[in-house]
Structure 1
Amino acid sequence: MNNQPKIDITKPRFALLLDAIAIITFAALLIYLFSQYGSLPDRVPGHYNGAGKVDRWGSKVELFFLPIIGAALWIFMFVMEKFPHTYNYLNLTEKNAEAQYRNGMLMMNVLKNEMILLFCFITYQNMQVASGNAEGLGTGFMPIFLGLIFATISVFMVRMVRL
């Protein structure tokens, strides 16, 4: 890692667009959460099983946990995105370093924004379940979420090998 070149790379427009979508969605979720908080019951879903059914109920204060964790994760990954020279690469050379760094930065960007959107969805769904408008996350939630994350990582790993 010490001998990996440090190259100043500008963030691609696509990454900026993803950041904007994630930030707007997160802000909208917070506005919705604060506006609906008083009308929510005292008990809200605290955890779901693998089938997407509620298996623990908790205090409605817990609705703030996921947005806080999501924001902290997003900020951490935002900072990490700025240091692609610290990532591990399979085939990094002086010749392909810039392309590899762009790929690594974009992967970090896509993953961080997928994560914050996931936390937004779960928080929104917790509110819907608590209000009686939904029964859980649904049986397809876990496979879809895991499939999305693994597909994202796979796409960028394939790109890394090809570069």
Structure 2
Amino acid sequence: MANASNRPKLKIQKTKSEFIWDIIGLSCHIGSIILLIVVWNSLPVQVPAHYNALGEVDRWGVKWELLILPIIGALIIILMQVFERYPETHNYPERLNSINAQQFYLNSRKMVNQLKNISQIILASIIFESISIALAWGKPLGGWFLPAALFSVFIPIIIGIVKQRKIQ
């Protein structure tokens, strides 16, 4: 069953954890857009547009650049939603068969779901960080943000791979 076209197409209900992740991710995405709308007229002409690995602003840009992040977030939501809907197209080991397909699909779909929503949390955090710095609300997130963001992305991948290896 190596070919994706030979794989069974199964209808698997979303799990409670997937719904919770979707609520968290969508709330962060929508919340960041609402925050942008609320503070838009208060934002200075120049806002942080890029950060170095230490979390320091290394490029300033016009406030319109802040709109790029919610747009990227929306595109991620749409694209990853499609990937979630068709888990039979994901990459699986040769041992995938009609008996274990549901376990493989669910595991893979959960991983995609978590990555989609973690990306929304990260993008919303960057928007909040940029607004906070532009409006001098407090201390920047600093050098811990990049490692924390990377860690939060790689953990679901590692857990997904470990769980996949346990599927018989």
TM-score relative to the length of structure 1: 0.95
Offset at 1:135?
Answer: 5.0
Unmatched 5+ stretches in structure 2: none
> Identity of aligned pairs, percent?
37
Q: Which residue identity is paired with 2:107?
A: N
Offset at 1:123?
Answer: 0.4
1:157 maps to 161
Comparing 28-37 with 77-86, which one deviates more in the overlay?
28-37
Q: Which residue identity is paired with 2:133?
A: V
Comparing 65-74 with 126-135, which one deviates more in the overlay?
126-135
Query: What is the root-mean-square deviation in Å for CA atoms of aligned residues?
Result: 1.1
- What is the rounded CA distance, in whole Å, between the counterparts of 1:65 and 1:34 in structure 2? 14
2:132 maps to 128
Offset at 1:74?
Answer: 1.2
Comparing 2-11 with 98-107, which one deviates more in the overlay?
2-11
Offset at 1:108?
Answer: 0.6
Q: Which residue identity is paired with 1:146?
A: L
Q: Which residue identity is paired with 1:54?
A: V
Please state if 1:64 is matched with 2:47: no
Q: What's the secondary structure of 2:6's corresponding residue?
A: coil
- What is the rounded CA distance, in whole Å, between the counterparts of 1:133 and 1:139 in structure 2? 18
Offset at 1:144?
Answer: 1.1
- What is the rounded CA distance, in whole Å, between the counterparts of 1:141 and 1:107 in structure 2? 22
Q: What's the secondary structure of 1:5's corresponding residue?
A: coil
Q: Which residue identity is paired with 2:110?
A: L
Within the candidate set 35, 39, 62, 2:38 is matched to: 35
Q: Provide runs of 4+ in structure 1 moved above 6 Å.
A: none
1:103 maps to 107
- What is the rounded CA distance, in whole Å, between the counterparts of 1:161 and 1:150 in structure 2? 17
1:3 maps to 6
Unmatched 5+ stretches in structure 1: none
2:83 maps to 80
Q: Which residue identity is paired with 1:121?
A: S
- What is the rounded CA distance, in whole Å, between the counterparts of 2:74 and 2:140 in structure 1? 23
